[in-house]
Structure 1
Amino acid sequence: MASPLAAQEPEWLHAAALNGTPKYGPDVTHFDYVNPDAPKTGVVRMAARGGFDSFNFLPPKGHAAPGIFNIYENLMEPSLDEDDISAQYGVLADAVRFPDDYSWVEYRLNPNAKWHDGKPVTVEDVIWSFEKAIELDPQRKFYYKNVTETEVVDGNVVRFSFDTANNRELPKIMGQLFVLPKHWWEGMNAKGEKRDISKSTLEPPLGSGQYRIKDFSANRQVIYERVDDYWGKDLPIRIGTGNFEEIRYISFLDDAVQFEGFKGDQYDYHTERSSSQWAKRYDFPAIKDGRIVKEIFPDRSTGVMQGYFLNLRREKFQNPDVRRALNYAYDFETTNEIISANLLKRVNSYYSGTDLASSGLPQGKELEILEEVRDQVPPQVFTEEFKNPVGGSPKNVRANLREAVKLLRGAGYKLEGRKMIDPATGEQLSIEFLYRDKASERSLLPYSKNLESIGIKAILRLVDTSQFINRVRSRDFDATTLAIGQSLSPGNEQREYWGSEAADNASSANYGGIKNPAIDHLIEKVIFAEDRETLVAATHALDRVLLWNHYVVPQFYVDETRTARWDRFSHPENMPEYSTGFPTIWWYDEAKAAKTEALK
């Protein structure tokens, strides 16, 4: 008979979900959205931006090669077709367990898991990967800050212990860990030199995934080849995936060059992020004769805040009225009509496009949560629904600009002649907009014209990708367009995006430098929500307070994925609800490819 202590041990699970039960049981052979009989052949060419100079993604320096995660694996991975997108299934780990208070989690490694050199993936690899992640990457150190101990249990089980209880997301977070081979990174390269994981390298690293690096040209192209004896090919989460012999990533300098490369058949699959281009530039011969197929997929998997992020570390952005004035100067409606054929939607939430976006006035559980910070948030949180100013007509634009001037005057500025002057310094209010894609000027130029009409000097600063990344990392900017994607199950990452502690972390995603105790409190309410209803209410509350502090000038988003591809590929009939699945579950279709080539 089992002892009382053993009876209290949590059971091993083949999968785990944050809310409810995983869709797929332990006996499933493959997931519903794949073709288990997909042919394993052909090449797919993908585009990348800005080049690369390293195959080491861990230290936050250099530019890691596109597609590098094709060679690695997590302990567990999510499926692509569940409402609970946090549901995870075994890859390197074949089982997971945790107690009712979520104070620790254990992962049991799959005994078949192997590196490409044939050596087994071990618990020591997992622990070493975790330790190097928090040692070398401040962002990961912050993300994993609740982990107090890692230990080996029974040889093939790793345990992560936490400094807090009832954080339901922490066990799932640890399953996302990318595992690297300790023996390879601590060994010698072909020159007899000891490898150093803290440095960039162009030596192709060892992995355990479906693909490995076949060939590359730094800053130009990297080719991944399928591993024929891949250890995990029969895992339920892998059946029907990894169908290409090769995946090639080709680097381009900017969007304009990249699109011309697509038209010239230099790569196969293009995701169109420009609504203007989608509306106006797909009229070339390969579209007309059917060699290129356009297809739109609904995007229900993520929310987003895209906007002009303001650097709150600059004194001129400390006053919320100044920040709000900048929103009044942004005429989204005219820009959308003239530039984007009215295909864009205005961002009105930090979780735009999802049920996590706040609306109306707070009530019920959301109101109860907000009452806890009532004296720390703008009063409008309780009395007004947040709405962006509406432009689109000369009358509306003039009214909005007058309101912007009023707000700036209330913040202490004076309009002298055609300049908005800070009386304390005698200097004109100026804003430098940092950007790396010349196409951004289509919306930046009309915005800067509006700003200049109310006396603000707008400076447009175009830089290359590496300069842009370095300046954003070092917080050397006034304003820049950024986007923060959101999952349907927000949690610990919210500290990284908006938390006070992350504001001083140079590698964090708190680009604006938000430091607000009310927001910190609401983030914790999101993280420790005990059920979906509370999670949604807490996220609504957080969203509302972020919006009414005017940290960002909201831009636009689309709730669909617009794609174009050379007609050489097929996808399953039953596509996953939350992803295009390209190229993971697609395959090379020889009949289509032959027809497309014949049309040339």
Structure 2
Amino acid sequence: MMMRQAPRSRSRVIAAGRRDWRPVIVLAAFGFLGAALWSGAARAQEETITSHGFTTFGDLSELTYPADYQHLNYVNPDAPKGGTISVWAQGTFDSFNPYAREGLSGAMATIGYESLLEATADTVSDAYCLLCETLEYPESQDWVIFHMRPEARFSDGTPLTAHDVVFSHNLLMEQGLPSYREAVAPLITNVEALDDHTVRFTFAPDVPRKGLIVQAGGSPVFSQAWYESTGARLDQTQVETSPGSGPYVRAAFDFNNYITYRRNPDYWGADLPINQGRHNFDEIRVVYFADANVAFEAFKAGEYTFRQENSSIVWATGYDFPALNNGYVVKDELGNGNLPPAVGFVLNLRRPEFQDIRVRQAIALMYNFTWTNDTLQYGLFQQRNSFWQGSPLEAHGTPEGLELEYLESVADLIDPAILTEPVTMPHTAGANQLDRANLRRALALLTEAGWESGADGRLMKDGQPLTLELLGYSPTFDRIVTPFIENLNTLGIAANYNRIDPSQYTVRTRANDFDMVYDGYTTGLEEGLGLAQRFGSYAVDDVFNPAGYSSPAVDRLIEIAVDAQNYDEMSAAVRGIDRIMRRALFVIPSWYNANFWVSYYDMFEHPEEMPPYALGQLDFWWYNAEKADGLRAAGVIR
């Protein structure tokens, strides 16, 4: 089952704007000059660091790429340009504005927007100049100045300037999600264009510095001229969107059928070292299907050419068709060094009955990973334990060292057992669909919580039954969740699985109108400001916090993680957060796959040594025209 689109593993505040637009007030000439002179005087008083990149932890000498690098290590700088790659998406779309709550945005609608800094697929901490040439900041990191590339252009040919950066920041602040505004407003006190190609971000004096420069440099840049000429609002559905500066532009679309993005032949940044060997396809096509099964049949027929598989039954049993058997389609597993998404069955804590942890524990006991994986998923998955699975941020055993010290600082806000007992692990279950021992444990927990079995076996409290609706939209998920629902009903919970169409699902989940969904949280190998937007108490109604989870103890540890002066401090704080949240059990952990499952028509190629943090099929793969001609001659593709 698909979940909300996840961002890259790097943790930062998510710049998703969804408020209304107001014109940005332009400084009068005198006021602007005064601001520039003042900032210049301030800069003269302290030593500054100038670099082509930035690393959150460590120093600039530890950057993977030196200032004179020619290309990223994992790309093929001689990769040919050309061809089309096509992928699929499920559902529908009626907008191309990915920053609005209204409407359903088309797939890859952010493809045209760039930022001052860009992360790479082979590092966690590093970010390198893209729209900027260099960045300048003091050791205190009280501010950062980006010296921008004067050649940067939007796709309509107009210059991209520091004024567009200022405008974009203000636009996101005024129209962004409340959680974005609440997270960023206390951090960035001022953004000013010192001249057409120099922009300065000033940070609040009393906030942690870690992550601020990456946050400032990581937000998308929009065209001020386009917004002012059209009167468009970032919080509303849009068919026509502002021009971006990226390598691709939208070429054609048919609502709910397809979207085509074309590589811009006049892309301003094509010759930059960071872009060598990337953006190789002339065209990227997204084909829409309402049903996942229909989508797979379409792939077998050659209606699209690249597929990332997420269904174990299809991966195990479905890849037996002529194009594959004749060698025209490649089926492969490629390593994935990213954190597994922290997904599972998410309980909506906004529901009063789910506030009781004993109810959550009882529900969790009815999910049998062992039987599900062995019987329905062909033993292809592993059970997820942690929100930061398999990384140094995952909590293990009992807390010790710095992690214990941090947890002791919030001891009055947590269950005392967290300090002395091993971290909560997913329960184990036997080989049968319904584990009778877990059923007895679950019933005892619910009895302790005040729920009693009625004459019909249904659990009741204060005259009301315990009900649970699992909301979903993918038919491929039916076989996985049906046994779970059956176990819940055996326990005495009036449970049902309600599969609705994707658009209804989006409306209901955005309105937090659900009991339980299969969803989760995006976490990073390096955490910072984004923690608060996903797990902070002020974000209980944010789309990135589906459970509506909040904890004063986690709030305090988030502050410690964001204020960390080194990796050890950050990781210890995050392990403490992991330990607290796992005990809270607001996400019943399911499964994860340590590899990418991919299949594609044998006309695409990728670097022999793949980077650890991206599959990169739309980034640094390329098209083999000779192989494609052979497939066409064989009648395999059109």
Q: Partners of 1:140 and 1:259 in 2: how far apart?
A: 37
Match of 2:374 among 337, 344, 358: 337
Task: Tell me, yes or no, if the aligned pair for 1:303 and 1:354 is still in contact at 8 Å.
Answer: no
Residue 38 of structure 1: aligned partner: 79
CA distance in 2, matches of 1:324, 1:97: 51
Q: Report if the CA contact (8 A) 1:413-1:420 is conserved.
A: no
Partner of 2:93: 52
Are 2:343 and 2:521, in contact at CA under 8 Å, matched by a contact in 1? yes
Question: Is 1:159 matched with 2:210?
Answer: no
Take 1:422 and 1:101, find their aligned partners in 2: how far apart are those partners?
59
Residue aligning to 1:63:
104
Structure 2 residue matching 1:74: 3-state secondary structure: coil
CA distance in 2, matches of 1:104, 1:63: 37
Q: Which amino acid aligns with 1:357?
A: E
* Other-structure match for 1:72: 113
**1:550 alignment partner in structure 2:** 585
Which residue is equivalent to 1:400?
Answer: 438
1:284 is matched with: 321
Alignment partner of 1:349 out of 386, 403, 407: 386
CA distance in 2, matches of 1:466, 1:353: 34
CA contact (8 A) 1:308 1:481 kept: yes
The 3 A distance-change label for structure 1 pair 420 and 4 is closer
2:212 is the counterpart of 1:177: no
Which residue of 122, 125, 130 corresponds with 1:91? 130
In the alignment, the residues of structure 2 paired with residue 480 and residue 369 of structure 1 have an alpha-carbon distance, to the nearest angstrom, of 32
Distance in 2 (CA, whole Å) between partners of 1:591 and 1:563 is: 22
Aligned counterpart, 1:422: 460
Structure 1 position 263 matched with structure 2 position 300: yes
Say which of 517, 525, 532 aligns to 1:488: 525
CA distance in structure 2 between the aligned counterparts of 1:412 and 1:246, rounded to whole angstroms: 60
8 Å CA contact 1:102, 1:166 repeated in 2: no
Query: Which contiguous aligned blocks of 4+ residues in structure 1 show a shift greater than 4 angstroms?
Result: 2-5
Contact 1:80 1:579 in 2 (8 A): yes
Post-superposition offset of 1:23: 0.3
| Cα distance change of structure 1 residues 25 and 184 upon mapping to structure 2, 3 Å threshold | same
SS at match of 1:159: strand
- Aligned-pair RMSD on alpha carbons? 1.9
Cα drift, residue 396 of structure 1: 8.1
Confirm whether residue 212 of structure 1 aligns to residue 249 of structure 2: yes
Quote the offset at 1:39 in angstroms.
1.0
The corresponding residue for 2:184 is 144
Task: Give the Cα separation in 2 of the matches to 1:406 and 1:240.
Answer: 60
- Opposite residue 110 of structure 1, the aligned amino acid is R
**Pairing 1:106–2:148 present:** no
2:265 is the counterpart of 1:228: yes
- TM-superposed CA distance for 1:485, in Å, is 2.3
**TM-score (norm. length: structure 1):** 0.94
- In structure 1, what is the Cα distance between the partners aligned to 2:314 and 2:101? 33
Q: Secondary structure at the match of 2:435?
A: helix
Q: Distance in 2 between matches of 1:79 and 1:205?
A: 26
CA deviation digits over 1:349-403, x for unaligned, max 9?
A: 1112323211111111111111111222123312133121111334981101100
* CA deviation map 1:92-111 (0-9, x unaligned): 11222333333322222111
Is 2:149 aligned against 1:115?
no
Q: 1:446 aligns with which of 467, 480, 483?
A: 483
Cα distance change of structure 1 residues 406 and 229 upon mapping to structure 2, 3 Å threshold: same
- The structure 2 residue matched to 1:576, chosen from 611, 614, 622, is 611
Q: Secondary structure at the match of 1:259?
A: helix
- Shift of the 53–244 alpha-carbon distance from structure 1 to 2, 3 Å rule, reads same
State how far apart, in whole Å, the 2-side matches of 1:481 and 1:87 are. 32
Q: Compared with structure 1, are the counterparts of its residues 315 and 3 closer, same or farther at alpha carbon in structure 2 (3 Å cutoff)?
A: closer
- What is aligned with 1:9? 47
Provide the residue aligned with 2:352 in structure 1. Answer: 315
Shift of 1:564: 0.5
The CA distance in 2 between the partners of 1:276 and 1:96, in whole Å, is 49
Residue pair 1:32, 1:574 contacting (<8 A) in 2 also: no
Structure 1 residue 547 displacement after superposition? 0.6
Cross-structure match for 1:27: 68
* Structure 2: segments with no counterpart, 5+ residues: 1-39
* In 1: Cα distance, 2:433 partner to 2:220 partner: 54
| Inter-partner Cα distance in structure 2 for 1:327 and 1:56 | 37
Deviates more, 1:101-110 or 1:511-520: 101-110
Tell me by how many angstroms 1:418 deviates.
Answer: 4.5
1-structure distance, mates of 2:519, 2:626: 41
| 2:59 paired with 1:18 | no
Structure 1 residues 422 and 100 mapped into 2: Cα distance closer, same or farther (>3 Å)? farther
Contact 1:97 1:106 (C-alpha < 8 Å) held by counterparts:
yes
- Partner residue of 1:515? 550
Q: Find the counterpart in structure 1 of residue 164 from structure 2.
A: 125
Q: Tell me the SS of whatever aligns to 1:178.
A: coil
Q: Distance in 2 between matches of 1:254 and 1:487?
A: 31
Q: 1:69 to 1:109 in 2, by over 3 A?
A: same
Structure 1 runs not aligned, ≥5 long: 189-193
SS at match of 1:472: helix
State the TM-score, normalizing by the size of structure 2: 0.89
User: What residue identity is the alignment partner of 2:87?
Assistant: M
SS state of the match for residue 51, structure 2?
A: coil
Percent identity reads: 34
| C-alpha contact (below 8 Å) 1:291/1:599 kept by paired residues | no
The 1-side partners of 2:417 and 2:395 are apart by: 14
In 1, Cα distance between equivalents of 2:357 and 2:132: 48
Structure 1 residue 565 corresponds to structure 2 residue 600: yes
**Distance 1:395-1:515 versus aligned 2 partners, 3 A rule:** closer
C-alpha separation in 2, matches of 1:196 and 1:376: 42
The residue type equivalent to 2:244 in the other structure is G
Using the TM superposition, give the Cα deviation of residue 471 of structure 1 relative to its aligned residue in structure 2, in angstroms: 0.9
Count of residue pairs brought into register by the alignment? 589
